[in-house]
Structures are given as structure tokens and as C-alpha cells.
Amino acid sequence: MKSKVVKWLLGVLGFSSMATSCETIEDIIRGPAAMYGCPSADYVFNVEVEDLESGNPIEGIRVSAIERGVRDRWDEAGNINSEPYIDTLAVGVTSAEGMVTLSHNSFPRDKHEIVADDVDGEKNGDYASAAVEVTVDSNDYKDEGENGWYQGTAINDVTLKLAKK
């Protein structure tokens, strides 16, 4: 009896579609559950570093996944200043096979920069730095999470060819 009165009252107030749904009155009153967090994704870059001329693998090259951007900051006078930044997300050094795997978790983005720097000097040859931009699209993500908070894991193979100095 009580349920019929509540449904009638909701119908009079213009909530007839809600009253006839599968939800209970308590669910309608409470509303959707609050969700807190930040979208994220895992990124794995399998990087191969080669000599530009010979195609041979290069050992001892530091490879980094970096993010470049601009941040706005308030100064002491209350003005907003834009400052460039570079964040290093993952770092590794190539093996004798010229391979390194970089992995990190961050806010989902479609552009990633992979940078290679010769840090061992003449030991394995003297090479100039190189960088490549990797594009990740929605089809690259696997194992997507529920409710859109976790984008999934994107795995990309990257080859960098370094020129001798």
C-alpha cells in the first residue's frame, strides 16, 4: 500500500519514469555513487637502439621516456606565469643487444617522447642523442578497467637509430 502511494505521489510530481524503473526509491534518492581518482594508463616501450650506418645494436645508451609541457604558476605578486617543464617518466640503459624496456603509469596521453643519450662516452662508440615521438591511440590499449578510470596497457616497439658524432 505504501509503495503505491509513493509511486502515485512521484507520478503526480512528474517522476513516473523513475518510479517504474527497476531501481528502488532509496537508490533514486541516494543517486549514483561518488567516484574519486584520476584516469591512468600503463605504458610499456620496448626500445631497440641501433647504429644509423651499420644497423648494429648499441650497448650502454641511456633511454628515457619523458613528458614536456607548460605549467602555470602563481608568483608572489599574484600573477600567473607559464613555465616549461620536463618530467622523466622512465629510464633504462641498453643491453649488449641494444634493447631496453621502459614502463610507467601516468595520465592517459596520445604522444610520448623517447630520448636516447650516449652516457658511456667512447666505450661503445661516441653517438649523438636522438629522440622519437610515439603516438598511442585508443586501439593500442589492452585490459581496460571498469568505469573508465583505468585506460589499460599500451605496448609499443620503438627503434632509435643513432648517428656517430
- pLDDT per residue of the chain (165 residues) written in tens, 0 to 9: 566 666 665 566 665 444 445 556 666 666 666 667 789 999 999 999 999 999 999 999 999 999 998 999 898 998 999 999 999 999 999 999 999 999 999 999 999 999 999 988 788 788 999 999 999 998 899 988 766 789 999 999 999 999 998
Q: Same domain, yes or no, for 59 and 129? A: yes
Q: Same domain, yes or no, for 156 and 85? A: yes
Q: Same domain, yes or no, for 29 and 84? A: no
Specify the pairing of strand 80-93 against strand 61-74: antiparallel
Residue 142 amino acid letter: K
- Measured between alpha carbons, how far is 93 from 99 in angstroms, rounded to an integer? 8
Overall pTM surpassing 0.75 (yes/no): no
- Which residues constitute the domain of residue 14? 1-34
pLDDT at 122: 80
Beta carbons within 8 Å of 20's beta carbon, 6+ residues apart? 7
Query: How many domains does the structure of the chain reveal?
Result: 2
Q: Same domain, yes or no, for 70 and 135? A: yes
Residue 84, φ and ψ in degrees, nearest 5? -70, 150
Q: Same domain, yes or no, for 90 and 158? A: yes
- Measured between alpha carbons, how far is 103 from 155 in angstroms, rounded to an integer? 9
Q: Same domain, yes or no, for 82 and 5? A: no
Q: Same domain, yes or no, for 23 and 48? A: no
pLDDT at 24: 66
